[in-house]
Amino acid sequence: MGKITSQKRQKENLKQYGYLNSLTAMIDHVGVQITGFIINPFIVHGLGSTFYGVWQMLTQMTGYANMADTRATQVLKWSVSKKRDIATDEELRSEVMTALVITAFIIPIVLIIGAVIVWYAPFLTNIDEQYYNIIRITCSLLILSLVVHKVFDLFESVLRGMNLGFKRMGFRAGIIAVGGGLKVLAITQGYGLIGLAIVQVLIALSLGFTFYYIVNKTVGWFGFGKTNKEKIKAYGKLSGWFMAFMVTKMMLMNSDKILLGYLIGPDYVTKYTLTLFTAFAIKKIIAAVTDGIIPGIGGKFGKGDYGTVKKARNILITLNWIMVTSFGVTILLLNESFISLWVGKEHYAGTFENLLIMIIAIQYIFFQMDSNIINVTLRLQIKVLLSFLASTATIIAAFLLVKHFEIFGLCISVILGRLILSIGYPLVLKKRLKDNSDAWKLSTWQPMLMTVILLVLATYGSQWMVITNWLNLLMIALVVFPLSGLLIWWVGINSPDRQAVVAVISEIKFFKSH
């Protein structure tokens, strides 16, 4: 791997690197989903429906230790992204050192919050008292895994901030695949929840050392420079806003399984988790495209080139509508058959629940795209407020609806809460980019309306879609997916937007080496 030095930074090909970063993220997420597809049946049958639900609750619950996280690694990523073309090597190394100091300050607080979570975990999971020790040991190991990730995230943040995420292509997917094999071994050998948690720690360590090796070999300026109290204070202030956002984000994004399990039991968590597997998979794959491109946009934003940022965002929106329609229609038609063949029909949440879960995934794809672009501005106050309102609305609605309407009620709660972000983030970004264009023109709403129509038709048609073998399922998916994409391309996307997408794709040298 060739090192990227200050002399080479100006030679960056934004479109090419964006493509490579997106491809890397997609490989990682596809690898994770394939691994999950293979190992989840072993875990479901090895743990049983109740304890699989408990495992899902614990993995989400331990994430709440991140509430104390100042997100110094996120500040590092977006700072490097914004400054990489204008800062000296020593200034960039100073950014890394400052982020390390902030992280060192926050880890003891994370461990204290983690200890509280570990103690109360058995009560939140609604499990029998005889399993309390197992739950707490498992939870402790997951907290340890989280801390390991937190320390080593510094290295991946440098790579992504430099728009060089593609340098890690395939490594994460490979490590996750090996970890998946270890999880199957742990389950089949009877090590249960504790065995799964130990594997999570091993995966975290493997990823961390791998990313350190890659960034050390790839980024010529990488190292730990000098810092000072003023810089730490300034970084801490900005990190504080990231921490505030993390608190609200944890409440918003990492509370659905906990609320469901606490209010009506972990068995429902199992149904919900397995039904959303495919929707979650496509959500992460599509988000990977955005995540790969936005660090490159950061450099343009730092230079005040808002026109390029707006153009890139519009192209991303078009690509997202094409992908969510193609994947969404396919999943809504086939998910019940998929779940039945994969882990058993008894784990399918229901037809309308399936549609609502897909809507949740689509909501996430679009507001997360705008969220990441807002991060580049390093001005997060309004974003924190909107996230707090959305998470509060979601939790209140869940307590009112879940006990009566179960998974359906949870989905409605999530959709209503996140609607605040779906409306608020675009308005914030429109102001930051000084965009005075008409938000109500037909071309803006046309793909959304067409997607909604196709998703509703797919949900209706799914009631008669009964497939009893994997080959037929695959063949139908290979027909439905491209047809849905072509339909939204010609009917849902207007001609100028189609031409913009074609122009960008035609400029990418897919097999050019770096």
pLDDT tens digits, one per residue of 456-465: 999 999 988 8
CB atoms within 10 A of CB 439: 11
Nearest to 451 by CA among 400, 489, 500: 489
Number of Cβ atoms within 10 Å of the Cβ of 419: 15
Q: Are 326 and 481 in contact (CB under 8 A)?
A: yes
Q: Looking at residue 159, what is its pLDDT?
A: 75
Mean pLDDT of 140-152: 89
Q: Give the span between the Cα atoms of 60 and 250, in whole angstroms.
A: 9
How confident is the model at residue 495, as a pLDDT? 86
Mean pLDDT of the chain: 82
| pLDDT tens figures, 325-343 | 999 999 999 999 999 999 9
Please say whether the beta carbons of 102 and 239 come within 8 A. Answer: yes
Q: What does the DSSP assignment read for 178-203?
A: HHHHHHHHHHHTT-HHHHHHHHHHHH
Give the C-alpha separation, 409 to 396, whole Å: 12
Question: In the structure, what pLDDT confidence band is assigned to residue 511 with cuts at 50, 70 and 90?
Answer: very low
- How would you class 429 by CB atoms within 10 Å of its CB: exposed for 0-12, middle for 13-18, buried for 19 or more? buried
pLDDT greater than 60 at residue 81: yes
Instruction: Say if residues 343 and 276 touch (Cβ distance below 8 Å).
Output: no
Q: Report the pLDDT value the prediction gives residue 130, as an integer from 0 to 100.
A: 92
Task: Take residue 108 and report the two structure tokens written for it.
Answer: 């003891």
Residues 6+ apart with CB under 8 A from 321: 447, 448, 451, 488, 492, 493
Residues 6+ apart with CB under 8 A from 203: 145, 175, 176, 179
Q: How high is the pLDDT of residue 428?
A: 83
> Would you list the DSSP string of 402-464?
HHHHHHHHHHHHHHHHHHHHHHHHHHHHHHHTT--S-TTSHHHHHHHHHHHHHHHHHHHHGGG
Task: Name the amino acid, one letter, at 444.
Answer: T
* pLDDT value at 440 more than 80: no
- Asked if residues 278 and 335 have their Cβ atoms less than 8 Å apart, the reply is yes
Residues 6+ apart with CB under 8 A from 511: none
pLDDT given at position 510: 46
* Maximal CA-CA distance, the chain: 66
Helices (H), 348-380: 351-377
CB 20 within 8 A of CB 160: no
Query: Does residue 372 surpass a pLDDT of 80?
Result: no
Q: Give whichever of 2-6, 191-195, 230-234 has the largest mean pLDDT.
A: 191-195
pTM of the model: 0.76
Let me know: does 224 contact 363? Beta carbons within 8 Å.
no
d(CA 289, CA 284): 9
**Cβ-based burial of 291 (10 A; exposed 0-12, middle 13-18, buried ≥19):** buried
Say which amino acid occupies 346: E
Q: Extract the tokens encoding 164.
A: 């060089």
Among 16-20, 93-97, 362-366, 508-512, name the one with the lowest average pLDDT.
508-512
Looking up tokens 């977006």 gives 78
- Cα separation values, 71 from 28, 220, 310, 472, Å: 22, 25, 27, 46
509 Cβ contact list (under 8 Å, min separation 6): 16
Residue 157 above 70 pLDDT? Answer: yes
Q: Identify whether the C-beta of residue 165 lies closer than 8 Å to the C-beta of residue 159.
A: yes
What is the distance between the alpha carbons of residues 449 and 456, in angstroms, rounded to a whole number? 11
**Percent of the chain clearing pLDDT 70 (strictly above):** 78
Q: Are the CB atoms for 331 and 359 separated by under 8 Å?
A: no
Pair 299, 85: CB distance under 8 Å:
yes
